[in-house]
Chain A
Amino acid sequence: MSTATHAHDTHGHDHAHAHDHHGPPAGFSRWMYTTNHKDIGTMYLWFSFAMFLMGGSMALLIRAELFQPGLQLVEPQFFNSLTTVHGLVMVFGAIMPAFVGFANWLVPMQIGAADMAFPRMNNWSFWLLIPAALLLVGSFFVPGGAAASGWTLYPPLIIQQGMSIDMTILAVHILGASSIMGSINIITTILNLRAPGMTLMKMPLFVWTWLITAYLLIAVMPVLAGAVTMLLTDRHFGTSFFNAAGGGDPTMFMHIFWFFGHPEVYIMILPAFGIVSQIIPAFARKPLFGYASMVYATSSIAILSFIVWGHHMFTVGMPAAGNLFFMYATMLIAVPTGVKIFNWIATMWKGSMTFETPMLFAVGFLCLFTIGGFSGLVLAITPVDITLHNTYYVVAHFHYVLVSGALFAIMAGIYFWLPKWTGHMYSEGLGKLHFWLSMIGFNVAFFPQHFLGLAGMPRRIPDYALQFTEWNQISTVGAFIFGFSQLLFLYIVISTIRGGAKAPDRTWEGADSLEWTHLPSPVPYHTFETAPVVK
């Protein structure tokens, strides 16, 4: 897709050691004050992994409590806090920062820019995450416990709680500010700092998906900020936006929240599509089947995401016309999503494939994300949704799209680019073991939840009726396999950073974006100070 020539290869292999001269300062101040997109990307990824382990521990505590009926480990209120904070931490702390980390590392290198457009704002975007995370997790330790209303923060339930809610609201504001600054930076970089000859339609798909994602963030983050501001004034300043007794309407919060919330879902999946669209052609050794149609499909999904929020609210009691509109709009999303799936498979067709760990995760993504897509189609059908709303079927559905979708793509991307970033090959054997453990653990944990939902088990309950026992036990076993196999991932990443076989500059023979064709492995601290020329 992008063939490029070395215009001024200031950082050839022979000069790889030269970066020591203008390399980073050592120690804490390197990370505190850095404006380097690679350092910031690294920090985003480590932050995300720390939050992933934290949110994962909460999930395991939830699954441990649900191993059998009755209350054995936790109190119901604490259980609700766990489900709530698990959701918030995973969405805002693990998945989103991981993709921003990828964007920081890859966007400048893939478009041939030296760095992001606003390096100092980039530093600030990252460091804002830390106080937000502390507020979020610290809220467990204030009187009344952490937010316990589900990650959707619906009033009036959320109004009943104590200061942990104010901490959560503040955290959401900070995270929103961080995302907005990050998005402005990414859009500006992509639109203005492309190397000569790198036209929009020559950009790698990862860059395209992030461009669209950043626009989604800019459109919906202010809406979320507005919604939580209204919660705050309802709590402390006597307004009644969501209080019926004062003329407000709790349903309005749901509309506003999901107007943010549905695009948010695509914010978490579009960059995953981008990563997978880089990996599958590389390992099929064959260009992506339909580059242009992938770009159009991604844009269509983004636009449709603004008119489907009502499908989260079919049980609110909207008029029939509302239910029908949101049902049709939601079903329509299956078309561009299908186009993407078909494109990936057509890319694999008649390729010359090998299955190293990144490709395994990408194929795993393809199969399992599609299962999540199908259960999404089932849930789009209003009457079926009504009988499955707020049951474990929904839990299974969104874990199929967010864990085996977004998270598997993140794993695939880490294995794919780790040799480029560190200059070392990871252990292929351990990587494959990690994949199979994750694959098996994940499916054992979440497939049975479809059955629980169909049988009517509500979500967010700490205790359940006896007929749900068997599938819950199987699910818990799977969750622990999945959870603990991520420690193997941590080990693999650390040992790759510390040593290992030397990775070739073009680690994967089918990979053709600028970071593979123009830069050595490991990439020097500063790259493309003079822009390459893309033909």
Chain B
Amino acid sequence: MAEPHKPTPQQRRNALLSAAVLAAMVLGIYAVFMLKVFSA
């Protein structure tokens, strides 16, 4: 708890970018899937 570790700013930026891409993947799969079945 005391001192949280500090990734480098570069790592932090890359990590947020990866997470955003992955989250977009999840939402994308869900959205495409639901739109497909609701329009079918």
Contacts and interface: CB of A to CB of B under 8 A. Distances in A.
Interface of A: 21-25, 30, 33-36, 113-115, 117-119, 180, 183-185, 187-189, 191-193, 218-219, 221-223, 225-226, 229-230, 241, 526, 529
B5 A192 contact: no
Contacts of B26: 180, 184, 218, 221-222
Contacts of A117: 7, 15, 18-19
A187 B1 contact: no
A229 B31 CA distance: 12
A114 B23 CA distance: 23
Please tell me the size bucket of the interface on B.
Answer: 20 to 34
Given A183-B22, A222-B29, A529 B15 contact: no
A184 B19 CA distance: 6
Contact of B14 (A183, A192, A229, A241): A192
15 contacts: A30-B1, A33-B1, A114-B5, A115-B4, A115-B5, A117-B19, A118-B19, A183-B22, A184-B19, A184-B22, A192-B14, A218-B22, A218-B25, A222-B27, A222-B30
Contact of B30 (A36, A115, A188, A225): A225
Contacts, number: 80
B37 A184 contact: no
B7 to A, nearest CB: 6
Contacts of A24: 1
Interface of B: 1-7, 11, 14-15, 18-19, 22-23, 25-27, 29-30, 33-34, 37
A35 B2 CA distance: 10
A313 B12 CA distance: 45
Contacts of B34: 226, 229
Contacts of B4: 35, 115, 119
Given A35-B1, A187-B22, A222-B26, 14 more contacts: A22-B2, A23-B2, A25-B1, A33-B1, A36-B1, A113-B7, A118-B19, A183-B22, A219-B25, A222-B29, A225-B30, A226-B37, A230-B37, A526-B2
A189 B11 CA distance: 9
B5 A529 contact: yes
A274 to B, nearest CB: 20
A221 B19 CA distance: 16
B29 A223 contact: yes
A429 B1 CA distance: 37
B35 to A, nearest CB: 10
A117 B4 CA distance: 11
A188 B19 contact: yes
Contacts of A193: 7, 11, 15
Nearest to B18: A188
Listed from nearest, the 6 A-B pairs whose CB atoms lie closest are A114-B5, A22-B2, A222-B30, A222-B29, A117-B15, A188-B18
B29 A219 contact: yes
B15 A188 contact: yes
Given A24-B1, A25-B1, A526-B5, A192 B18 contact: yes
A281 to B, nearest CB: 30
A225 B29 CA distance: 10
A306 B27 CA distance: 19
Contacts of B1: 22, 24-25, 30, 33-36
A226 B40 CA distance: 14
Nearest to A529: B5
